[in-house]
């Protein structure tokens, strides 16, 4: 899981968006029974789409995805 510090400072998530990401990730870990994603933890990817009126931020883990910020 991405650290709170990284999520807020680098991805520029607000507190609500970070909490949504954490809850989503915790549910995936609970279903899977493990939080091991490999040596570098590369299972979670983030997609940031800049637009003229803001950004769309999506996280994906395997077949699961969550949209953290919509316009």
CB 56 within 8 A of CB 69: yes
Question: Which residues, given as ranges, of the chain have pLDDT below 50?
Answer: none
Alpha helices in the chain (DSSP H): 4-9, 15-32
Q: What is the per-residue pLDDT across 14-34, written as a single tens digit (0 to 9) for each? A: 999 999 999 999 999 899 887
What pLDDT score does 71 carry? 78
pTM: 0.84
On the 0-12 / 13-18 / 19+ scale of CB atoms within 10 A, 7 is buried
CB 59 within 8 A of CB 46: yes
Q: How far is CA 36 from the centre of its chain?
A: 16
- SS3 assignment, position 42: coil
What pLDDT score does 66 carry? 96
What pLDDT score does 47 carry? 94
């Amino acid at each position: 899981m991405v650290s709170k510090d990284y999520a807020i400072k680098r991805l520029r998530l607000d507190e609500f968006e970070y909490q949504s990401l954490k809850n989503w990730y915790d549910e995936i870990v609970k279903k899977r029974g493990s939080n091991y994603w490999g040596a570098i933890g590369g299972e979670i990817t983030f997609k940031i789409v800049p637009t003229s009126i803001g950004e769309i931020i999506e996280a994906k883990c395997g077949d699961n995805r969550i949209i953290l910020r919509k316009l």
